Structure 1
Amino acid sequence: MAGAPVPGQPVRGSQTGRPIMAAFDLLGRRWALRILWELRDGPVGFRALQQRCDDVSPTVLNTRLAELRDAGLLWQDEAKAHQLTSLGRDLQRALKPLQAWSERWAAEAQE
């Protein structure tokens, strides 16, 4: 499947393309969540983003950035820095409870 998953179109795990399944498909792609995480504090240029993502290959990074742009989660400004759209910031807020849960899970796993 080329490009970003689209709700209403078949995606991994759903022939009907249910919105949650399209979101899981997009966010489950290698580096997608990491890219979004690294943009949480504001715009980041390509090379800096690549370094923050443990030197992900430029090809993979470009592919993920294009998919996340197509999905409306980020955009590229005039200075070529990538940043979250309002929809991307909404996703960041939606992920905060998952972050809190994962920290509780990690603490309990260490007990």
Structure 2
Amino acid sequence: MTHKIPTPGRPVRGSKTGKPIMVLFDLLGRSWALGIIWHLAGAPMTFRQLQTSCEGVSPTVLNTRLKELRASDLVQHQQDGYLLTATGRELFALLQPLGGWSGNWARQLLSGDEDGGSNT
């Protein structure tokens, strides 16, 4: 099965017109796309290092995601491995605060505090 790389202006999941935000969400919603970006934020990694960091993602899936992320100018490949482009680093900077937020959200869910402690 051929997977098309999400491109602005072309239909994607959730948008027949290919609105840029929906294209980004389609790309990032694919298996391991966010994980790859998250792991590459620290330092360049070889394919094998990235596969290990991504909990043993299959080589086929990892290769497909890397091709998509490279075509989307978020990841590049150099002699020392894969790394985020300037655009990829900018995206990570926007996503990084979600890491802290998600930790708070998880603790709230696990504690059964459905309203987040507010008295509304």
Which TM-score tier does this pair reach, normalised by the shorter chain?
over 0.9
Counterpart in 2 of 1:10?
11
Counterpart in 2 of 1:61?
62
Please tell me whether residue 77 in structure 1 is matched to residue 78 in structure 2: yes
Superposed displacement of residue 2, structure 1: 2.9
- Greater relative CO, 1 or 2 (CA 8 Å, sep 6+): 1
Please, what TM-score do these two structures have when normalized by structure 2?
A: 0.87
Counterpart in 1 of 2:51?
50
Counterpart in 1 of 2:93?
93
Superposed displacement of residue 72, structure 1: 0.3
Unaligned runs of 5+ in 2: 112-120
Stretch deviating more after TM superposition (94-103 or 81-90):
94-103
Counting matched residue pairs gives 110
For residues 1-36 of structure 1, the C-alpha deviation after alignment (integer angstroms, 9 at most, x for no partner) is: 633201111111100000110000000000101111
CA-based RMSD of the aligned residues comes to 1.2
Distance between the aligned counterparts of 1:97 and 1:71, measured in 2? 22
Superposed displacement of residue 107, structure 1: 1.7
Stretch deviating more after TM superposition (90-99 or 61-70):
90-99
Distance between the aligned counterparts of 1:104 and 1:59, measured in 2? 34
Find runs of 4+ consecutive structure 1 residues off by over 2 angstroms: none
For residues 29-72 of structure 1, the C-alpha deviation after alignment (integer angstroms, 9 at most, x for no partner) is: 00101111110111000001001111111111000000000000
Structure 1 residue matching 2:57: 3-state secondary structure:
coil
Please, what TM-score do these two structures have when normalized by structure 1?
A: 0.93
Stretch deviating more after TM superposition (95-104 or 28-37):
95-104
Q: Which of the pair has more CA radius of gyration?
A: 2
Please tell me whether residue 108 in structure 1 is matched to residue 90 in structure 2: no
